[in-house]
């Protein structure tokens, strides 16, 4: 059964696709900035946060950045990993530090509301 949806779509990356990835990247960098601030506060002040927490959170940050790169190169894994890693980042902050990250929530809204509008028409070109 041949799919006739988005028949005129080309594999070229348009301005909407690039702008949606830039939006995802902006909120990802904001989340990384929060993580770096927490790390600096824990090393400079008497805030007790275990070092393994930062290893986990920075690894999740790296996975989120990698997923944006995979989306740029039309890999289905990136479109699946991005929301899962962002949710994991949010949950780790909620569980260990009791911090509600609006940057993660906004990144998920941008992903579902804007990025998927650019990704879904190109899905046929994803590998």
CA distance 86 to 6: 28
pLDDT in tens, the chain (127 residues): 456 676 767 778 888 889 989 999 999 999 999 999 989 888 877 778 888 999 999 999 999 999 999 999 989 999 999 999 999 999 999 998 888 888 889 989 988 888 888 887 777 878 8
Distance from C-alpha of 13 to C-alpha of 10, rounded to nearest angstrom: 8
Residue 124 DSSP one-character state: G
- Listed in sequence order, the residues at least 6 apart from 93 whose beta carbon sits closer than 8 Å to its beta carbon are 57, 99, 100, 101, 104
CA nearest neighbour of 99 among 26, 47, 63: 47
110-120 burial, b at 16+ Cβ within 10 Å, e below that, comes to bbeebbeebbe
The per-residue pLDDT for 116 is 80
Give the model's pLDDT for residue 4: 65
Contact 71, 20 (CB under 8 A): no
Indicate the length of the chain as a whole number: 127
Contacts of 47 (CB under 8 A, 6+ apart): 41
Q: Is the pTM of this model over 0.85?
A: yes
pLDDT at 1: 44
Question: Tell me, what's the pLDDT at 125?
Answer: 77
């Amino acid at each position: 059964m041949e799919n006739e949806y988005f028949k005129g779509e080309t594999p070229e990356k348009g301005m909407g696709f690039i702008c949606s990835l830039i939006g995802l990247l902006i909120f990802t960098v904001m989340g990384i900035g929060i993580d770096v601030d927490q790390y600096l506060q824990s090393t400079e002040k008497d805030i007790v946060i275990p070092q393994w927490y930062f290893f986990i959170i920075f690894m999740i940050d790296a996975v989120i950045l990698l997923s944006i790169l995979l989306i740029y190169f039309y890999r289905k894994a990136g479109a699946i990993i991005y929301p899962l890693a962002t949710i994991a980042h949010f949950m780790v902050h909620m569980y260990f530090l009791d911090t509600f990250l609006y940057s993660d929530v906004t990144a998920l809204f941008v992903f579902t509301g804007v990025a998927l509008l650019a990704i879904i028409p190109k899905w046929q070109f994803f590998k």
